[in-house]
Amino acid sequence: GESVGLHLPTLSVQEGDNSIINCAYSNSASDYFIWYKQESGKGPQFIIDIRSNMDKRQGQRVTVLLNKTVKHLSLQIAATQPGDSAVYFCAESLTGANYLFFGSGTRLTVIP
């Protein structure tokens, strides 16, 4: 079956540094990917998405990179701030599917 997993379950970075959160997916048919941020006790918050016809997409301080060859997805956060501390989930969607498959999550801790 499909699976979405993360290489690093925890990540600690110094405030101001850049963060990179990685995600691997197993289904090459997946064509839509989303990164969510979940703060403690709250629901996931949409950060950025990317479709399989793109390799890179930038938002405000965030960049998502997609490498379809190795089925790898990453989220880059520039100038990480304490408010970025949260659990980050990647999610994938299959063509024609109505729902998302979520990865296990990476906890990002920003050290002031």
Partner 1 sequence: GAVVSQHPSWVICKSGTSVKIECRSLDFQATTMFWYRQFPKQSLMLMATSNEGSKATYEQGVEKDKFLINHASLTLSTLTVTSAHPEDSSFYICSARDRRLAGATQYFGPGTRLLVL
What residues line the site for partner 1 (CB under 8 A)? 32, 34, 36, 41-46, 49, 89, 93, 97-100, 102-105
Q: What's the closest the beta carbon of residue 104 comes to partner 1, in angstroms? A: 5
C-beta atoms surrounding 31 within 10 Å: 17
Q: Judged by CB, which is closer to partner 1: 2, or 15?
A: 2
Q: Judged by CB, which is closer to partner 1: 78, or 97?
A: 97
